[in-house]
């Protein structure tokens, strides 16, 4: 049993599913990582039941507020429910996030479905300990051709876990093909970004496509080319894709060719934090639509200030680069940077760029990436489309 310090239960009583080591007064017995434990307040009131992690800053990942619950049975039920919800929500798609961590009650774990290939990743040692049972369950409920573990995440070290990138059940999946409204993407689930692709931006790619007709597009941090290719498919006059990664640009080239869009796409390798301020002066007015989808600069709360400065730099110069009437689609996937802070950053960037804008579109995570209101960390994706106005 885990006993909290006086008043430390307030965080837990509000519904947040993490118990930090700094909140704990003492632990009865010697539970090992992954063992079920009960958590009680300093006064002895039952608060919840979860998985213990002796080496982690997140000492207990709570799964239920009910006592005497078999946690393994609970986890299996939640995974079944998560798959059922996606099938009902996306009946016309084979590609979705099947499990989204704490928001589906499976701590620190995501499972992405690319047709008959499932890719899972976990930073939770308690789930890793149950990996064989998890794989058995996934084979039972979805019969995948391949099960891939994609765990090249530095956060695993915090739970004492090694990095893993391997096919763990079934055959080597090889390239996986995904199509979004005529745009074809070839996904490398072992070598591509994250679990192979950015499923969370797929609604936003379609939103950008709506604004692209007749425009010259600059897709910054383009990765596999998702935004730029959709813009071209939506009638853009041209699209320039920019990323620091040559392998990402090679994947984008292949996707453009497969989609019949290669004639309107150009590619450039560049470090945008260095180059974009120069382009704001040298290439002013060259583009009518800019997509700004940078990586998660804020890996933790201690990086928020530096991340905010980076987002400011990028958004200021993207706005400077646009002519009046130009459109900026801007995004952040930094969970540690909350929406209020990011909105404040964007307003600051607009002032520093000395322009006026209007909001055309406001986006967040799709429904297969649900959010727990009591856990702000689960709401990570921010997306806005704004138009620069004439003075």
pLDDT along the chain (391 residues), means of 10: 94 93 95 96 96 94 96 98 98 97 97 97 95 97 97 84 94 95 95 92 97 98 96 98 95 96 96 94 94 83 83 97 97 91 96 97 97 93 97 80
- pLDDT value of position 306: 87
**pLDDT the model gives residue 39:** 97
Q: Summarize pLDDT for 38-65 with one digit per residue, the tens.
A: 999 999 999 999 999 998 999 999 999 9
User: CA 260, CA 173: separation in Å to the nearest integer?
Assistant: 25
**Whole-number Å distance between alpha carbons of 41 and 164:** 37
Phi-psi category of residue 235: left, alpha or beta, with phi > 0 → left and psi -120 to 50 → alpha: left
The pLDDT assigned to 229 comes to 98
pLDDT on residue 317:
97
CA distance 80 to 52: 23
CA proximity to 353, closest of 326, 313, 307: 313
Per annotation, catalytic residue among 124, 333, 355, 364: 333
Longest dimension (CA), the chain: 69
Q: Nearest to residue 68, comparing CAs of 38, 32, 106, 98?
A: 38
173-182 pLDDT, tens digit per residue, is 999 999 999 9
Torsional class of 174: left (φ above 0), alpha (ψ -120 to 50), beta (otherwise): left
Please give the model's pTM, rounded to 2 decimal places.
0.93
How far is 144 from 118, CA to CA, in rounded Å? 6
Query: How far apart are alpha carbons 113 and 196 in whole angstroms?
Result: 10
What is the rounded distance in angstroms from the CA atom of residue 202 to the CA atom of residue 28?
A: 47
Q: Given this model, what pLDDT does residue 299 score? A: 63
According to the model, what pLDDT value does residue 166 have? Answer: 96
Annotated active-site residue 333? The verdict is yes
DSSP class per residue in 178-230: EEETTEEEEE-TTTSSTTSS-GGGHHHHHHHHHH-TT-EEEEET-TTTHHHHH
């Amino acid at each position: 049993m885990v006993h909290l310090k006086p008043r430390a239960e307030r965080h837990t009583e509000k519904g947040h599913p993490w118990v930090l080591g700094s909140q704990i007064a003492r632990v009865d017995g010697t539970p090992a990582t992954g063992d079920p434990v009960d958590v009680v307040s300093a006064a002895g009131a039952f608060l919840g039941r979860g998985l213990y992690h002796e080496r982690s800053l997140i000492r207990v990942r709570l799964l239920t507020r009910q006592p005497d619950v078999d946690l393994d049975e609970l986890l299996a039920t939640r995974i079944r429910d998560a798959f059922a919800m996606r099938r009902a929500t996306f009946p016309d798609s084979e590609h979705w996030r099947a499990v989204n961590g704490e928001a589906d009650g499976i701590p620190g774990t995501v499972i992405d479905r690319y047709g008959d290939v499932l890719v899972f990743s976990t930073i939770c040692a308690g789930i890793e300990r149950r990996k064989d049972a998890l794989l058995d369950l996934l084979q039972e409920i979805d019969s995948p051709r391949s099960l891939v573990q994609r765990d090249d995440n530095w956060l695993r070290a915090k739970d004492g876990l090694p990095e893993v990138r391997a096919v763990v059940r079934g055959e080597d999946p090889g390239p996986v093909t995904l199509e979004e409204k005529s745009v074809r993407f070839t996904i490398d689930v072992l070598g591509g970004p994250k679990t192979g692709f950015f499923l969370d931006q797929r609604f936003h790619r379609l939103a950008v496509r709506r604004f692209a007709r007749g425009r010259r597009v600059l897709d910054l941090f383009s990765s596999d080319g998702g935004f730029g290719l959709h813009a071209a498919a939506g009638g853009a006059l041209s699209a320039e894709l920019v990323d620091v990664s040559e392998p990402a640009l090679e994947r984008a080239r292949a996707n453009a060719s497969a989609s019949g869009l290669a004639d309107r796409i150009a590619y450039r390798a560049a470090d945008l934090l260095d180059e974009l301020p120069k382009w704001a002066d040298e290439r002013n007015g060259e583009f009518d639509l800019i997509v700004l989808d940078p990586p998660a600069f804020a890996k933790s709360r201690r990086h928020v200030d530096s991340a905010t400065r980076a987002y400011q730099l990028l958004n200021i110069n993207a706005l400077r680069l646009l002519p009046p009437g130009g459109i900026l689609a801007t995004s952040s996937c930094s969970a540690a940077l909350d929406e209020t802070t990011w909105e404040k950053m964007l307003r600051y960037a607009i002032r520093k760029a000395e322009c006026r804008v209007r909001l055309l579109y406001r986006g967040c995570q799709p429904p297969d990436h649900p959010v727990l209101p009591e856990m702000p960390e689960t709401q990570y994706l921010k997306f806005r489309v704004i138009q620069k106005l004439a003075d």
